Amino acid sequence: MCGIGGFWGTFDRGLLERMNNAVAHRGPDDAGEFFDAKLGLGLAHRRLSIIDLSDAGHQPMWDSSKSVCIVYNGELYNYRELKEELAEQGFRFRSDSDTEVLLNLYRRDGAEMLSALNGIFAFALWDPQRGELLVARDGLGIKPLYYAQTDHGFLFSSELKAILQSPVVSRELDPQAIQYHLTYLWCPAPHTMLRAVRKLEPGEAMLVRDGAVARRWVFYDLPYQAPPDEIDVDEAVDRVRNGLEQAVRRQLVADVNVGAFLSGGLDSSSIVAMYRKLQPDRNIQCFTIGFTGEQTGDFEGFAQDLPYAERVAEHLGVDLHRIDVGPDMIERLPEMIYLLDEPQADPAPINALFISELARQKGIKVLLSGAGGDDIFTGYRRHYALTLERMWRWLPAGVRSTMSAAARTVPAANPLARRARKAFEYAGLDDDARLISYFYWLNPEVSDGLYSDHFRTVLGGSRPKAPLARSLARIPRETDPLNRMLYLEAKHFLADHNLNYTDKMSMATGVEVRVPLLDPDLIGVATSLPVRYKQRGRTGKWIFKKAMEPYLPEEVVYRPKSGFGAPLRGWLRSDLRPLLDELLGEQSLKRRGIFDPEAVRHLVDLDAQRQIDASYPIFSLMCIELWCRTFVDRDRPAPVDVQL
């Protein structure tokens, strides 16, 4: 697990060194560079040693014949099987690293090797004989990769901040990205906040020739094209249970200590339960978050995690390390925005940062995460809401539009009212538009009113649903609506939000996070199941819960849903109010020119009066301003100083 970067064009070695230094936090164990001055091609690498801790794992790495070279960030979980196969065919190895397996696999199969990989990765592989640079990102987007095509050539890196070490990369904002961040709180790939920089999409690869992208293609997509398998419950339970056990076994492969997140939710608890089953005598180190000043019970509509985490730790006999946080966690907000590379409006990344820091202090370099369970088996409240549509989606469009208008008059004073309003606010839209609307945090009609006149002109007629609509077009229309939603969950919400912050926060501390629930074989199991085994009435992840009943206490398996966040709504009205006033003050907003100060102030007032629920969009406005101060106002990105 590492940080990578490089370029091909009219760039110098000094830029390569600056790019490598910008991601030094991702790889504290080693660093390396390859530079061909004649071609203007450079590859840089920072190493976090997980498999084969020796110097033989140094990168950039050439194969034994010196024919191809790679910089690679990730873990290949099936590398041992592939290595054995390649060795039998006469390929030579000088290390026990998965990196060298990639090199030899490429020598045998070329770019076709991508279909054989089970792992998390982003890499760039240089083939001098073909004059090609192969760049690829894993199928679920677990590892990030940014790139820029400029008049001076092609640049890429694990993090956007490294690309911005080059002065030729324009800092011009992408208006659509701002619209996406305000609507969703995250930005769907390939967009970033800058027009000049893009994210390689999950499961996407590209070939670069002579400093320009020559070909781009998708080598993996979530397998929702085939109809579900009609199997009985017992077989479905076995498939899920065996798939999870196999995934955890694969991802425990490491030459360092492996710990785990343990929130007390079903997903992380299931990962730890399988870890315990596979290694019954292991001293397993787990990590969780507690909130100071909060009472056990309702937590902005969610149940608190800590009591459940403690119950699971006791049940499985694992060590649970707890870190308590309060409103002062927000003092690290500027650092969070810098590390994320994106203005994601969610305090959850700071939680992940705290846990990763604590794990590293305890000598843990790898953590298993339960990320992805809700995105492949269901579990979010919007999944249940979508299934309820069968009760009213048959109504005429005019009736549904009336329902929508009525829903918008419901005050958002409490969690129940917020959910009722959300359920019908977009009832009048067509099927795909309504499905996409479940991902909205702010009604596009409201966000349109927040922009300055100039920015609204620049934005033109762009609509925030466009990138998700393009993704929906990739799977058959006859696919069940719930599976269509799950496709968007994994393709965008998971990759562009949860996985981005999980990677960036953990790697900032020199910790690798693995996600067994996103093992390709387990995803194949989840996508093959009938939807009635996923969402059954109000119960999400129904089949997953059935599979885990023998391993976890019933009150954990069937506990209320909780989010991995913080009481942001309350904090914005108290501890965070001074920061809100500074970032979203009239002077600040006029200087930036994106938002209308009067409209923003009106939104803040409506939220404070609890007439609408706009806390997270307001936080998004704050994060966008912080991001601009960090990545646009400075020649090279650095954590910005803000009076907190």
Tell me the C-alpha distance between 505 and 338, whole Å: 10
The C-alpha angle with vertex 71 and arms to 146 and 154, in degrees rounded to 5, equals 40
Establish whether 447 is an annotated binding residue.
Answer: no
The answer to whether residues 46 and 19 touch, using CB atoms and an 8 Å cutoff, is no
Phi/psi of residue 185, nearest 5 degrees:
80, -5
Q: Is residue 2 among the annotated active site residues?
A: yes
SS3 content of the chain, % helix, strand, coil (to 5): 45, 15, 40
CB atoms within 10 A of CB 363: 10
Beta strands at 366-368 and 258-261: parallel, antiparallel or unpaired: parallel
Establish whether 370 is an annotated binding residue.
Answer: yes
Tell me the C-alpha distance between 252 and 260, whole Å: 11
CA–CA distance from 585 to each of 280, 337, 381, 571, 611 (Å)? Answer: 56, 19, 34, 18, 21
Tell me the C-alpha distance between 222 and 486, whole Å: 10
Contacts 24+ apart (CB under 8 A), 86-92: 92/64, 92/65
Tell me the C-alpha distance between 123 and 227, whole Å: 33
Catalytic residue, chosen from 2, 69, 187, 286, is 2
Establish whether 475 is an annotated binding residue.
Answer: no
Establish whether 369 is an annotated binding residue.
Answer: yes
CA–CA distance from 61 to each of 4, 7, 95, 126, 437 (Å)? Answer: 12, 16, 11, 10, 46
CA–CA distance from 530 to each of 435, 483, 533 (Å)? Answer: 19, 9, 6
DSSP string, 97-120: -HHHHHHHHHHHHGGGGGGG--EE
Binding residues for ATP are: 289, 369-370
- Cite the annotated binding site by residue number: 98, 289, 369-370
Binding positions for L-glutamine: 98
Tell me the catalytic residues. 2
